[in-house]
Amino acid sequence: MHVAVVGGGVSGAVAAYRLRAALGDGAAITVVEATGTLGGKLRTAEVAGVRYDVGAEAFLARRPEGAGLAAELGLELVHPTKARSTVRAGGRVAPLPGRTLMGIPGSPDAVADVLSGAGRARVAAEPDLPPVTLESDTALGVLLRERFGDELVDRLVDPLLGGVYAGGADGLGLRATVPALAAAIDRGAPSLTAAAAGLIPAKPSGAPVFGTLPGGLGTLIDRLVELAKPDIRFGQPVTGLRRRANGWRLEIGDEAIDADAVLLAVPAPAARRLLADVAPAASSALGEVELASMAVVAMALPPGTELPAASGVLIGARERRADGEPFAAKAFTFSSRKWSHLDTGPVLLRGSVGRFGDAGALQRDDDELVRLVRDDLAELTGITATPIDVAVQRWGGGLPQYGPGHLDLVERAERAVAEVPGLALAGAALHGVGVPACIATATAAATRVTSHLVP
Ligand SMILES: Cc1cc2nc3c(=O)[nH]c(=O)nc-3n(C[C@H](O)[C@H](O)[C@H](O)COP(=O)(O)OP(=O)(O)OC[C@H]3O[C@@H](n4cnc5c(N)ncnc54)[C@H](O)[C@@H]3O)c2cc1C
């Protein structure tokens, strides 16, 4: 029995681990990874001698998949310190309002600190607008701007969405990005404020929202691979996928490997190419997924450098520096404040650059990018210390955008793949870009392959 897993990111690594657990040591599992390393967007680098994530840095601990997998693998999970996040809104840095649903408030008071008087008045008037209705899906920005005005979107919703998708409300779809809100409207909530109020718990549960692994998220990949024991083919992409009488042939450069089943765990553009002949409807659906590119500029400052007393700062696209120029960064994470295991020597922080549809600063070379990010940092925090180490990690097409209609598109893709025996699909383009969602798709895809092979 031979299963080929295409793509060695977290989705592929989890799939290989689940397949090994289900199929046992007798099965051959091959992971084909285009680059020279596993992990995909989970990448732990050494910065000033410290293991530091330059891709994903944490995951939602409230969803069961990530925390559950860490426990299953015997990996220690750590949670952020009490430092709060902040947002640069209307030219000043304010604490990030806590009691909102992706920036959508259940009461106007919740967001008062980040809005102007006029912005507050628009938000306060939302419940009095004609009842909200939703036909199919809509761009989140269209709905929110209509109901709350631009300020709430520009100052709060966009910066929050930018942190997850590297995209803003105008390009992201309501149903895929804030499904609970869409469901509340479908159930008849008269306004967005009422819908959010019904969804935001009256009292915070106190349970930590995020978790990470103290050795970096690369540790998760190492452990999965150690247990999955796959054959790994590095350094060349799968370029073609064909059905054979009793299975599959994967083309890798001039070579080919045969397998009984194939699990695709690659980003949407690669999945689109590979599915073109074998599941054309899935291929064209995935071809509709757009991607945002970004870069992480990781810096180690000299020990003792004082960071703000916050876990980080989000920056809206419309915020301007004192010189009138836009910020290059869309967010900073003050990692040595956010994580106590990173508060031990060099002062670590990362600037994130890149928004969907705005290549801007990403076109600069690494030195220039670092200079721009350091200028932003100085403007926001007054920190001008020269870094003792820097790592620039670029993520071209790093994050899929869940536009309006995304759920339909995914349903089309999954339905088409389900009709093809021995083929399964996993990854960030499907049911959430976060690590727990990727783990869930990988687990489901491995289950599908297993039930094909061992009916
Ligand atoms: C900068 C950044 C920060 C993020 N931060 C967080 C965070 O803090 N928390 C969170 O939960 N999520 C975060 N995310 C999102 C999350 O990390 C990703 O969505 C997730 O890791 C994607 O995993 P994946 O395995 O589906 O895809 P990928 O990680 O993209 O892995 C796919 C792999 O397939 C390989 N590949 C592609 N084509 C082929 C081919 N033809 N043949 C063989 N191999 C191929 C690629 O080289 C890659 O290794 C972040 C994403 C980015 C870019």
The residue assigned the tokens 């990018």 is 369
Domains of the chain, residue spans? 2-39+216-289+402-453, 100-199
**Ligand 1 and 438: CB distance under 6 A:** yes
Q: Whose CA is nearest to atom 53 of ligand 1?
A: 398
Q: Whose CA is nearest to atom 19 of ligand 1?
A: 433
Residues contacting residue 413 through CB under 8 Å, at least 6 positions apart: 279, 281, 282, 285, 286, 425, 430
User: Distance from the CA of 42 to the center of ligand 1, in angstroms?
Assistant: 7
Fold that domain 100-199 belongs to in CATH:
protoporphyrinogen ix oxidase, domain 3 (1.10.3110)
Rounded CA-CA distance 112/120 in Å is 6
| Tens digit of each residue's pLDDT, the chain (455 residues) | 999 999 999 999 999 999 999 999 999 999 999 999 999 999 999 999 999 999 999 999 989 999 999 999 999 999 999 999 999 999 999 999 988 999 999 999 999 999 999 999 999 999 999 999 998 999 999 999 999 999 999 999 999 999 899 999 999 999 999 999 999 999 999 999 999 999 998 887 888 899 999 999 999 999 999 999 999 999 999 999 999 988 999 999 899 999 999 999 999 999 999 999 999 999 999 999 999 999 999 999 999 999 999 999 999 999 999 999 999 999 999 999 999 999 999 999 999 999 998 878 999 999 999 999 999 999 999 999 999 999 999 999 999 999 999 999 999 999 999 999 999 999 999 999 999 999 999 999 999 999 999 98
Nearest atom in ligand 1 to the alpha carbon of residue 41 is 29
Nearest residue to 294 (alpha-carbon basis) of 161, 429, 166: 166
Rounded CA-CA distance 209/433 in Å is 16
Could you tell me how far CA 11 lies from the centroid of its own chain? 13
User: Distance from the CA of 54 to the center of ligand 1, in angstroms?
Assistant: 12
Instruction: Name residue 267's amino acid.
Output: P
**Three-state DSSP class for residue 129:** coil
Q: Which of 65, 435, 439, 441 to mutate to test the pocket of ligand 1 (most atoms within 8 A of CB)?
A: 435
Is residue 103 within 8 Å of 133, Cβ to Cβ?
no
Nearest atom in ligand 1 to the alpha carbon of residue 42 is 21
Rounded CA-CA distance 15/261 in Å is 12
Alpha helices in 153-191 (DSSP H): 158-165, 174-177, 179-186
Nearest residue to 10 (alpha-carbon basis) of 66, 61, 54, 51: 66
Give the pLDDT confidence score for residue 455 in this predicted structure: 86
Rounded CA-CA distance 224/389 in Å is 30
**Ligand 1 and 298: CB distance under 6 A:** no
Rounded CA-CA distance 59/8 in Å is 19
Alpha helices in 34-93 (DSSP H): 64-72
Q: Which of 266, 274, 335, 392 to mutate to test the pocket of ligand 1 (most atoms within 8 A of CB)?
A: 266
CATH architecture of 2-39+216-289+402-453: 3-Layer(bba) Sandwich (3.50)
**Ligand 1 and 41: CB distance under 6 A:** yes
Give the pLDDT confidence score for residue 359 in this predicted structure: 78
**Ligand 1 and 56: CB distance under 6 A:** yes
**Three-state DSSP class for residue 396:** strand
Give the pLDDT confidence score for residue 31 in this predicted structure: 98
**Ligand 1 and 61: CB distance under 6 A:** no
User: Distance from the CA of 150 to the center of ligand 1, in angstroms?
Assistant: 32
**Ligand 1 and 57: CB distance under 6 A:** yes
Rounded CA-CA distance 175/153 in Å is 17
Nearest atom in ligand 1 to the alpha carbon of residue 296 is 1
Residues in the chain: 455
Give the pLDDT confidence score for residue 135 in this predicted structure: 82
Rounded CA-CA distance 270/288 in Å is 12
Work out the number of other CB atoms within 10 angstroms of the CB of residue 265: 31
User: Distance from the CA of 176 to the center of ligand 1, in angstroms?
Assistant: 19
